[in-house]
Structure 1
Amino acid sequence: MTDMSKLFIGGGILLILIGLAWPLIGKLPGDLMFKKGNTTVFFPIVTCIIISIVLSLVLSLFGKFK
């Protein structure tokens, strides 16, 4: 199996896991939302941090299998 196919398989599995977990992590307590009139601004700070940590762990695992 080539490196590119491993990357696509890992990416697909990661997207499936994120899709399944999204209702649970959709809006966390540290995410900021501001509403003023008809305008809503949403900053998913904590969600981005958690996704970054998970991606770092997954990519480090794939790096060890080479």
Structure 2
Amino acid sequence: MVEIGKSLIFIGIVIIIIGTVLLFNDRLPFNLGKLPGDISYKKENFSFYFPITTSILISIILSLLFYLFGRFFR
């Protein structure tokens, strides 16, 4: 039962952090999805967008969260 409680607390904290970032995304000095290094190409009938920098940043954050999650439940 203790492990389930720890899991729920950890998941709740992660949800609060994600919600806060989404809530204040417009006011942050950087917007996820519009970071420098994201590739955007627009023509008359064609647009291409590849968020490479945003993908790398999200990957680093998720890797850190999973690392902490793994250490927390050993």
TM value normalised by structure 1? 0.73
Distance 1:57 1:63 in 2: 10
Q: Which has the larger radius of gyration?
A: 2
Number of aligned residue pairs: give it: 66
TM value normalised by structure 2? 0.66
Between structures 1 and 2, the one with greater strand share: 1
Identity of aligned residues (%): 38
Distance 1:39 1:49 in 2: 25
Between structures 1 and 2, the one with greater helix share: 1
CA RMSD of aligned residues (A): 2.3
Name the residue aligned to 2:18.
15
- Residue 57 of structure 1 aligns with an amino acid whose one-letter code is L
Q: How does 1:40-55 map to 2 (within 5 A)?
A: 40-55=47-62
Correspondence for 2:31 among 25, 35, 44: 25
